[in-house]
Amino acid sequence: MTDGGINVSVSFDYLPRRECGVLLYDKRKKPLKIVFPDSCRIGNMYAVLLEGDISNYLYYLFFCDDRIFMDPYAQAVEGRNVWGRLRGENETIKAKFPSAEDFEWSGDAFPETDFSDTVIYGLHVRGFTRHASSGVEKHRRGTFEGLEDKIPYLKELGVTAVECMPVYEFDEIILNPAYEATEKKKELYGGDVASGNWQYRINYWGFADKGNYYFAPKASYSAVGDPEFSFKRLVRSLHRAGIEMIMQIYFPQRCDPCYIQRVVHHWVNKYHVDGFHLLGMKIPRALLALDPLLARTKIILEEPDGERIYGESRRTPMFRNLASYKDDFRCDARKYLKGDEDMLRSMAEHMRRNGPNEATVHHIADYRGFTLLDLVSYDRKHNEPNGEDNRDGSDYNYSWNCGVEGSSRKKSIQRMRLSQRKNALLFLFLSQGVPFLQAGDEMGHTAGGNNNPYCQDNELNWIIWRTDQTGRRLLAFTRELIAFRQSHPILHRKEPMRIMDTISCGYPDLSYHGQNAWYAQMENYNRHLGLMLCGLYESTGQGRTDDFVYIAMNMHWIDHDFALPDLPAGYDWKLVCDTLDFGQEDCESAFYPRGRLLEEAAKEAEKTRKGTAIAKKNEDSANSRIVTVRPRSIIVLVGKMTQNDRRKNSRKKEKG
């Protein structure tokens, strides 16, 4: 739009036999027909300036001969303002002229958080705040404004990016093509003639092969009736909190690579979006990876192939913006969590993976498949509410219900499920890749065993914010775990782990251990493994190196001993986490950010008989220790320099 009118350009697949042009609609939806003159055509492209005062016209459609169609580049859509409303037969959606008012970005800046420091939080805009327990005002629930209200929660949780399921304009109505035929049969024969006799369903997730308008924010996600303004304000508010906006976009096969590039450019330029998780079979990976406009925009793909792209172009990215998102970590971590054998080598590889040209996004759960709570509560999927006789959804969940299918009031089952979820979160946040946490998993969201709730616009997908004591403990644990990861750069390095002593400090950056220090027991029947990360390879600022971090994982159903390696002089091991320690009744978390000396933890364990990591002297060495890790649990220890030795080092540096 300009001061002199509106510039309109459109191309047609074929030249019109009679005429083509645009239909303008006012508030009463009365059309004004404007025919494009042939003098405004070059090839199949028409470019026309509509002059004069057209302020009364809000919507438009194109026509070519007898065919009327929507603008595929529409930046706003009229007719989908109400979520889930079934439109009448003669009711059509229309393109809406974009707002002429400039949005005040107020010095907005892209956070450009490095992938090594990124923690992604995946969510559905509607489901995140739709439930009354969200505490969001009723008219703002399930909207961009509702998500904006929850930014303080996201900030406190410690995430650095939100990844939103489709927020572009999609058709949430799935019509059943067989419905009318079925209804006619019922009239003739009576009764229910077919299972799944439904007229329409809700496309809750937003992935569709048609009916998408990729340049327009979703109208029903705006609480004020202006999706452009609502989404811009949301992104600006996220940026002010240091949080990035990542969009999921699904492109069907027919989408042209240049069209995909235009879509991505549009959201970066107009809405300041920070990244994209692109889904589809024909994503132009090299085109996007080498695009200078997107050089600092996160591009998450299933197979980014950064090594080949940058190798062929002979270019090294200054800002690593490519990342892979695959299910291999998810599947192997789930198998190891439930105690499958022959998983140690795979888990060791996953937890150190960190490519130089592309990052790796790890997840235990996302919108597909079981939630984290359902992963430890169900052995089989329960998708009956979807109306497809439980045939939909994957049969490969790699889950374990801890002895009871579904919810249970047994304290022993509840505790086992809580510790298993803590184990899964430790796999996720103590790995070198980029952690992806699905919304609700940090507080115990359940979909009732439904692993494919694509059509469920209800509490199976809505986050319920009322949490019981177990949910509060898990939330506090997750918050402290994220803070622990972010405070230890050795847990999220920019450089790949080499498992070598590359700085001649006496320790490799990463090493593996078992019953004997420096000797991992990687046999296929074992289910326990110790990992030590040497903090001397990373600095925490102010001239200080990071701590040593030791992770002892035991997914076996019996105890296993781990011998702790000797630390440099002046260092001592402290326990910071035991996933089987539930603390006191009034304690919300069993994560100890400051750490506890092993001897203190052992004495407390003897007093309470609850047990924690059992520490004892190694008979073969007076300086090393052995810790016993109980079944299906993980302990985390930190090798810290004592305060006295830290002071001595500071004095030496001052004198030097």
Residues 362, 365: Cα–Cα separation, whole Å = 9
Among 336, 304, 335, which residue's Cα sits nearest to residue 320?
A: 304
3-state secondary structure of 179: helix
Residues 381, 369: Cα–Cα separation, whole Å = 9
Of 319 and 420, the structure prediction assigns the larger pLDDT to: 420
- What local confidence, expressed as pLDDT, does residue 647 receive? 55
**Which residues lie below 8 Å from residue 459, measured CB to CB, with a gap of 6+?**
131
Residue 613 reports pLDDT greater than 80? no
270: enclosing H helix or E strand: helix 257-271
3-state secondary structure of 153: helix
- What local confidence, expressed as pLDDT, does residue 57 receive? 84
- What local confidence, expressed as pLDDT, does residue 18 receive? 83
C-alpha distances out from residue 540 to 99, 111, 405, 509, 525, Å: 47, 20, 45, 16, 38
- Give the CA-trace dihedral at 604, 607, 608, 611, to 10 degrees: 60
The two three-digit tokens of residue 524, written as one number: 């296929």
Residues 182, 619: Cα–Cα separation, whole Å = 78
Which string of DSSP letters, residue by residue, matches 295-329?
TTSEEEES---HHHHHHHHT---SS--EEEE-SHH
Say what percent of the chain tops pLDDT 70: 87
| Pairing verdict, β 275-279 and 544-545 | unpaired
C-alpha distances out from residue 318 to 285, 293, 300, 322, 357, Å: 17, 13, 17, 12, 10
Residues 200-221: tens digit of each pLDDT: 889 999 999 999 999 999 999 9
Residue 377 reports pLDDT greater than 90? yes
- What local confidence, expressed as pLDDT, does residue 44 receive? 86
Residue 13 reports pLDDT greater than 90? no
The two three-digit tokens of residue 617, written as one number: 């002297």
Burial of 336 (0-12, 13-18, 19+ CB in 10 A): buried
Q: Give the per-residue SS3 of 34-67.
A: EECCHHHEECCEEEEEEECCCCCEEEEEEEECCE
The two three-digit tokens of residue 234, written as one number: 């949301």
**Which residues lie below 8 Å from residue 369, measured CB to CB, with a gap of 6+?**
393, 394, 397, 451, 452
Where is average pLDDT lowest: 412-426, 452-466, 515-529, 591-605? 591-605
- What local confidence, expressed as pLDDT, does residue 176 receive? 79
| Residues 95 and 70: beta-carbon distance below 8 Å | yes
The two three-digit tokens of residue 148, written as one number: 């904006």
Residues 231, 209: Cα–Cα separation, whole Å = 24
- What local confidence, expressed as pLDDT, does residue 571 receive? 93
Residues 531-544: tens digit of each pLDDT: 999 999 999 887 89
Across residues 398-405, what is the average pLDDT? 96
How many C-beta atoms surround the C-beta of residue 656 within 10 A?
5
**pLDDT confidence bin for 6, thresholds 50/70/90:** confident
Residues 238-253: tens digit of each pLDDT: 999 999 999 999 999 9
Burial of 209 (0-12, 13-18, 19+ CB in 10 A): exposed
Which string of DSSP letters, residue by residue, matches 338-371?
TT-SS-HHHHHHHHH---SSSEEEEES--SSS--
Residues 79-95: tens digit of each pLDDT: 999 999 888 777 889 99
Residues 113-145: tens digit of each pLDDT: 999 999 999 999 999 999 999 999 999 999 999
Among 445, 432, 453, which residue's Cα sits nearest to residue 354?
A: 432
Where is average pLDDT lowest: 51-65, 99-113, 188-202, 222-236? 188-202
Burial 79-95 (b: 16+ CB within 10 A, else e): bbeebeeeeeeeeebbb
| Residues 383 and 390: beta-carbon distance below 8 Å | yes
572: enclosing H helix or E strand: strand 571-578
| Residues 306 and 358: beta-carbon distance below 8 Å | yes
How many C-beta atoms surround the C-beta of residue 409 within 10 A?
7
Length of the chain: 656
Residues 616-633: tens digit of each pLDDT: 544 443 345 889 999 999
Say what percent of the chain tops pLDDT 90: 70
Residues 219, 213: Cα–Cα separation, whole Å = 11
Q: Looking at this protein, which amino acid is placed at residue 102?
A: D
